[in-house]
Every structure is written in structure tokens, then in C-alpha cells.
Amino acid sequence: MRVLSYVLITALTLGGTLLAVFELSDVSDALIIAVSVSIPMFVVGPAVVGSLAGYWDHRSSTDSSRYLRWWLLGVVAVDVAGAVVVVLASVSAGAPVWVPVVLIGGAAVLLVIARPLGALFRRTEPSPSAYPVGYRFGLAELRHTIVVIAVTFGVSIVVVTIGVVVLAALSGDDPAGLTQAAFLAGQLVFTATAFAALLQSLPLNGLLRASAGHDLGRLRRFSKIVLRGADLPLDPAEQVGVVRYATVVPLALRFQLVYIGLLYTALAFQMVSTWIRGDLGILPPVFLVLMVAVLVWIVPLTLRRIRRATAYAARHADLVDIDQT
């Protein structure tokens, strides 16, 4: 189910992007950039709403219900802004009427079905009781995960190397074509590996949800206590849940760093390739600088949170039967 959702997100985003490339290319650079941002948001926004509805039971608390409502309103606002951009680009490019109708109508349909599909998916999720109190993501699971990520990386290198060789044979001695092929190869390798890391971390996300009883409001309190050092009241059951959360979240955060590093490397290949081609003006170097700034901020912050969570789990290990070694 999860794999299918990622495939659909990728396919819909690619389809919308190709439609924009063929029908909305004769517009200003500013509109091209705006459309390039809007189309993925048409797909990702409903996917986020559906994921929240699927992974969390919004009926479990008022905090969960309010949080889902905030996200839904935010996605609606982003989609409305994207619809305005698509209409402006369509008018500017003289595109057929069906182009904005397909893009905006598709976004509306996705938004309407997001919550019902999420609720349907939630019924297939393991209940919190499916994870015993002492259950952990052990060494065997970790080794399997590392092997899958490494194999994905290796297979991707082999596949894209074959592709580069074929492109080199077709392009002859064109150095520009070879350079672009090499950058594309790097982008594909690291993108595939990033999504492999993301998929392999899903069991950890299941454990985190189970620690809070699929209550998003409770999980946010756990996060404030464990990762930020907040002093919030907990009932006896929540005291056990927060320790389970603190035991799992350090590894989940490490996977998050791996995913971000791989994804940002893929984006860097894409931006450098665009920069060399001279496309999008000053945007590629600005984007690269912003990526570095985000990494400089998020990596130390995540490492601090990992240390806090590990220390919290060690201090309260007596509350649950979990091996801390």
C-alpha cells in the first residue's frame, strides 16, 4: 500500500510536469518556476493529508483533530495559490482550456479523496497492541535495512552506468552531452537510494505511532518531552509510552539524516546540471546555498535530539523491559 502510494505520487507529479512542459513552456521564467513548484504541491499536499488521516486516529483527541484540520486548511490554501498560478500560466501561454481544467481538477479530486482513503488505509494498520512493550527494531532488522539500502545503491549504479554508456555511444564525442548524462546518473542513483532508505524506515514510524496509541496529540507531547526537554504531565500509561518513544526515535532520526543527505545529494546533482546548462538563471546557485544552510541547521539540531532521546531512554529504562545496549 505504501509502495503503491509512492509510485502514484511520482507518476502523477511526473505526468503533471510533462503536461506543463508541453503546454505551458512559452511563459516567463518566473511563471515557469511557480508552475514547477505548484504541480508537485497539487500531489504532495493531498498525500500529506491522506497520510495524517491514515497513520493517526483524529478521533482519539482534540489535539489530533485540530492538527489534521490545520494541515487540511494549509493544503487548501497552497492548492488555491497553485490554481491561480496555473491559470495565469495557461493564459500567458495561450494553452487549451483543458490544460488548467485537468491540473486544477485533478488537484481538487485528490484533495477530496485524501481523507477517506487515509481512513481506509488506517484500518489496515497494526493496532498499538500489535507491538509488545519490549519490542524494538533490533540488530537483525537493522542489518537487513542496511543491506537493502546498499544493494539499491549498487544496483542503481550499475543501471545508470549502462544508461550513461548507451548515451555516450549515441552522443559520440559531445562532451556537454556526456556531462549532462553523468549528472543525471548521479541524480537517479541518489534519488533511488534515498527512497529505499525512506521505505526501510517505515517500521520505525509504525513503532513511534504505536508508542502514542496512534494519537497525534500525544505523540507531539512525547516529542516535546523527549527531544526538547519540556516538563509536561503524563499519566502512568503515557510514562511507559514516552520511554518506548525515546527508545525508537534516535534510530528514526538517524534514518532521517540518511534520507535527507541522499536526497539533497540528488538535488545537488540536478541543480549543478541546470546551472551548467544556464537554465533558470540565478536560481540553481541560490538553491544550492539554501540547501547548505538547511543542512548546517538541521544536522546539529538532529544530533542534539538524538543525544537527548538516548539519555532520556537510559534514565527511564526501568519503566519498560527494553534492552538499552
Q: State the pLDDT at residue 76.
A: 93
Is residue 226 a contact partner of residue 309, using CB atoms and an 8 Å limit? yes
pLDDT tier at 298, thresholds 50, 70, 90: very high
Q: Which residue has the higher pLDDT, 78 or 131?
A: 78
Confidence band (pLDDT; 50, 70, 90) for 325? very low
User: What dihedral do alpha carbons 39, 45, 50, 52 form, nearest 10°?
Assistant: 160
Yes or no: say if 65 and 59 are a contact pair by the CB < 8 Å rule. Answer: yes
Higher pLDDT, 296 or 16: 296
226 vs 242: CA distance, rounded Å: 8
pLDDT tier, 136 (very low <50, low <70, confident <90, very high otherwise): low
Does residue 315 carry a pLDDT above 80?
Answer: yes
pLDDT for 241 beyond 70: yes
Give the pLDDT score at 306. Answer: 94
**At residue 279, does pLDDT exceed 50?**
yes
> Residue 324: CB partners within 8 Å, gap ≥ 6?
247, 313, 314, 317
Residue 132 has pLDDT above 50, yes or no: no
> Is the model's pLDDT at 179 over the cut of 80?
no
Q: Which of 25, 33, 17, 44 is nearest to 85 (CA)?
A: 33
Encoded amino acid at 244, one letter: R
Asked if the model's pLDDT at residue 30 lies above 90, the reply is no
For the chain, give every domain's residue range. Answer: 1-125, 135-325
Confidence at 200, pLDDT banded by 50, 70, 90: confident
Compute CA distances 97 → 81, 88, 105, 159, whole Å. 19, 12, 12, 40
In this prediction, residue 274 has a pLDDT band, given cuts at 50, 70 and 90, of: confident
pLDDT reading at 294 higher than 50: yes
pLDDT for the residue 145 = 76
pLDDT given for residue 324 in this prediction:
43
Better-scored residue on pLDDT, 12 or 158: 158
What percent of the chain is modeled with pLDDT above 90?
18
Considering only CA atoms, which of 144, 135, 301 is closest in space to residue 206? Answer: 135
* Cell, residue 107: 488537484
2-23 helix and 98-122 helix, angle to the nearest 10 degrees? 170
The predicted structure's pLDDT at residue 77: 94
Given a cut of 90, whether residue 293 has pLDDT beyond it is: yes
| pLDDT tens-place string over residues 109-118 | 988 888 888 7
Lowest mean pLDDT among 54-63, 261-270, 309-318: 54-63
pLDDT 10s digits, 62-85? 777 787 888 889 999 999 999 999
| pTM over 0.75, yes/no | no
- pLDDT confidence of residue 135: 47
Give the number of other Cβ atoms within 10 Å of residue 51's Cβ: 17
Q: Which set of grid coordinates corresponds to residue 254?
A: 538517524
Query: Does residue 303 carry a pLDDT above 90?
Result: yes
Per residue, what are the HEC states of the chain?
Answer: CHHHHHHHHHHHHHHHHHHHHHHCCCCCHHHHHHHHHHHHHHHHHHHHHHHHHHHCCHHHCHHHHHHHHHHHHHHHHHHHHHHHHHHHHHHHHCCCCHHHHHHHHHHHHHHHHHHHHHHHHHCCCCCHHHCCCCCCCCHHHHHHHHHHHHHHHHHHHHHHHHHHHHHHHHHCCCHHHHHHHHHHHHHHHHHHHHHHHHHHCHHHHHHHHHHCCCCHHHHHHHHHHHHHCCCCCCCHHHHHHHHHHHHHHHHHHHHHHHHHHHHHHHHHHHHHHHHHHCCCCCHHHHHHHHHHHHHHHHHHHHHHHHHHHHHHHHHCHHHCCCCCC
